[in-house]
Structure 1
Amino acid sequence: MPKTILIVDDSSSLRTVVKLALARAGYEVLEAGDGEQGLAQLDKAAKVNLIVSDVNMPKMDGIAFVAAVKKHARHKFTPVIMLTTEGQDAKKEQGRAAGAKAWIVKPFNPPQLLDAVSKLIAP
């Protein structure tokens, strides 16, 4: 059974690029346009093995989203990769403190993302 990855990003074009790369690698992909939608997807999904989240989003940003995810016992150990334009050390530290396991700065290339994903979960 394929592993499921949730993509949380307010850019539909970026979600499409990420989804194509992950689907081609054999992953099942769920999508959300912001942190609130991401939490709703997690509530509905049977199992999410990994989350890829942007930082800058409307309603609930990525840092707040990761912190909220980590408060749920069911998702406490779900690895999170931040995929964002933010590259400052202070922002990365906020992400790590919230529970992010990896940080990839946009623009990115799909092999870079797949390498990070494969280090956190096997397909």
Structure 2
Amino acid sequence: MTRLVNFGIAAGLLVSAASHGYLYLHGYQYIPKVGPGFLVLTSISAALAILIAIGGPAWLRAVALLVSVGALGAFVMSRTVGVMGFIERGWEAPHGPISVLAEAVTLALCAWSLLRRGSAAPRSRTAVS
């Protein structure tokens, strides 16, 4: 089951990386500060996807969870208060919905796998006097 979840996390990260990479190449590269952020997010997501898919340690899933939370937060901020002076309207279909869905799936799978792993930890037993 863990392997399947890892592949799901990796798939979510790769979809997000592809979407952000596409947006970077098709216009976002010219937006100061925001454009390079898309390139960094693309690189980090792709690297995490590969490492998680080949069975990296659990802390990589925690990092992937934080990356997804950050990407979703930046998406919300870009449509409300702005990110470093950049404000966008709408969903920029299909990449807006694709990115949000990929990040949400990644976040959910990472959280579930980390919580499940924590609940499976052996518990110490104490003797009753």
More strand by share: 1
More helix by share: 2
Indicate the TM-score class for this superposition, using the shorter chain for normalisation.
under 0.3
Structure with larger RCO (C-alpha < 8 A, sep 6+): 2
The structure with more radius of gyration: 2
Question: If the length of structure 1 is used for normalisation, what is the TM-score?
Answer: 0.25
